[in-house]
Amino acid sequence: MINAILTIDDVPSNNTKAIVDYLNEKGIRVVMFAVGEKLEADPEPVVYALQHGMVVGNHSFSHPDFSTLSLEDGIKEIEKCEEQLNLVYKKAGVERKYRPFRFPYGNKGGENKEALQKYLADKGFNKLVDTQILYPWWKEFGLSKDIDTLWTFDFAEYNIREGSGFTVDDVFKRINDANPSSGASLLTDGGSHIILLHAHDETEELVPEYYKQFIEYLLEHGVNFVAPTFF
Ligand SMILES: [Zn+2]
Contact 51, 84 (CB under 8 A): no
Q: Which of 147, 54, 47, 64 is nearest to 100 (CA)?
A: 147
DSSP state for residue 122 in the 8-state scheme: H
By the 8 A CB rule, do 104 and 65 touch? Answer: yes
pLDDT value, residue 183: 82
Q: 60 C-alpha vs ligand 1 centroid, how far in Å?
A: 9
| pTM recorded for the entire structure | 0.97
Quote the pLDDT of residue 182: 82
Q: How many CB atoms lie within 10 A of CB 70?
A: 10
Q: How far is the CA of 153 from the centre of ligand 1 (A)?
A: 15
Q: What's residue 85's pLDDT? A: 98
Between the CA of 7 and the centroid of ligand 1 the distance, in Å, is 11
Parts of the chain with a pLDDT under 50:
none
Q: What protein residues have CB closer than 5 angstroms to ion ligand 1?
A: 9-10, 104
Q: Is 12 buried (19+), middle (13-18) or exposed (0-12) by CB count in 10 A? A: buried
pLDDT at 136: 92
What's the CA-to-centroid distance between 91 and ligand 1, angstroms? Answer: 23
Give the pLDDT score at 101. Answer: 98
- Measure 104 CA to ligand 1 centroid, in angstroms: 5
CA–CA distances in Å: residue 138 to residues 143, 184, 211: 5, 10, 26
